Amino acid sequence: MNKYLDIAPEVREALESNRPVVALESTIISHGMPYPKNVETALAVEQIIRDNGAVPATIAILGGRLKCGLSKDEIEYLGKKGAEIVKTSRRDVPVVLSQKIDGATTVATTMMIANMADVKIFATGGIGGVHRGAETTMDISADLEELANTPVMVVCAGAKAILDLGLTLEYLETKGVPVIGYGTEELPAFYTRKSGFAVDYRLDTPLAVAEAFDAQRKCGLHTGMLVANPIPEEFSMDADTINRAIDEAIAEAAEKNISGKETTPFLLAKVKEITDGESLEANIQLVYNNAKVAAQIACALCTL
Ligand code: PSU
Ligand code: MN
């Protein structure tokens, strides 16, 4: 057992009795949405996971402890502090621990901590990936390396077009990470159901996805798996509107010389601002949908 890791009692009991658990990240709370919507959403997501038969485990670093499973008060605390909390990807972990401070975990760090606790399924909104222009900036999210190396399933709504989706898929292919379309042949682009890029495989039921993941683990492959679940039709956005907002946000980031870990939060906030809150509502709804599907997959996995 990792000496820095605290597993919440409810999560530990579920794991010990082979009951389904779904991990959730905290950067989406601190950096992805404004207060108090972020807290309301995080709590509603936990409830959706419970309603679908699994136990939620929101993951963060608090006072230098790796936390797998947060209380309502801890979620409220993270949401209120917002972007004051250190956005913690894998490379940030050592100093956040040694300084005994708080860290909001990205997809990469959430996968890492979930794996330490033996939580196998993780639901979020969108993953980081290869940024547009990465051929000169080399800006490639650590989320992709984590998917390459950590055997956790990430259920997301694809990736935002702030990234180069084609290069992101190429990277995942090189690293041996299966990209599964849940009920779709096309990679969803977060706010929209379509991107123009094909996923590797389409699977249509929670059991089929759980079986693929089970096969991956039992044959000793140590890679993660990406499950791309399209935003429900009724909440999806107009492609032209969102793509225009993304192009504008990327141009402004370049003008302001935004780089490194600031890039993704800057682009997300800009897109939100340009679309005047419409993107926030879509974002919330797709996370709810991913939480539901992840809980169903986690339940199916426990039967195998
Ligand atoms: N993409 C989104 N919403 C998010 C993020 C990405 O659509 O909230 C967050 C996630 O926590 C993800 C992180 O792991 O940004 C990636 O940041 P970076 O590109 O700096 O690795
Ligand atoms: Mn980056």
Span 16-60, pLDDT tens digits: 999 999 999 999 999 998 999 999 999 999 999 999 999 999 999
Q: What mean pLDDT, rounded, does the chain reach?
A: 96
Residue among 265, 285, 280 at smallest CA distance from 31: 265
The tokens describing 186, both together, are: 């096309």
In 3-state terms the chain splits into helix, strand, coil percentages (rounded to 5) of: 50, 15, 30
Concatenating the DSSP letter of every residue in 58-91 gives EEEEETTEEEES--HHHHHHHHHHGGGSEEE-GG
Does position 164 have pLDDT exceeding 90, yes or no? Answer: yes
Span 140-157, pLDDT tens digits: 999 999 999 999 999 999
Does position 161 have pLDDT exceeding 90, yes or no? Answer: no
Provide the residue ranges of all domains of the chain, joining segments of one domain with +: 5-302
Position 131 scores a pLDDT of 94
Closest atom, ligand 1, to C-alpha of 105: 11
User: Do 176 and 149 contact (CB within 8 A), yes or no?
Assistant: no
Mutate to test the pocket of ligand 1, among 107, 162, 250, 287 (most ligand atoms within 8 A of CB): 107
Q: Is 144 in the pocket of ligand 1 (CB under 6 A)?
A: no
> Class assignment of domain 5-302?
alpha beta
Gap between the Cα atoms of 90 and 108, Å rounded: 6
Whole-number CA gyration radius for the chain: 18
Strands 65-68 and 179-182 turn out to be unpaired
Neighbours of 155 (CB within 10 A): 27
CA 290, 292, 293, 299 dihedral sign is positive
160 C-alpha to ligand 2 centroid (Å) = 14
Position 278 scores a pLDDT of 85
The tokens describing 165, both together, are: 């989706």
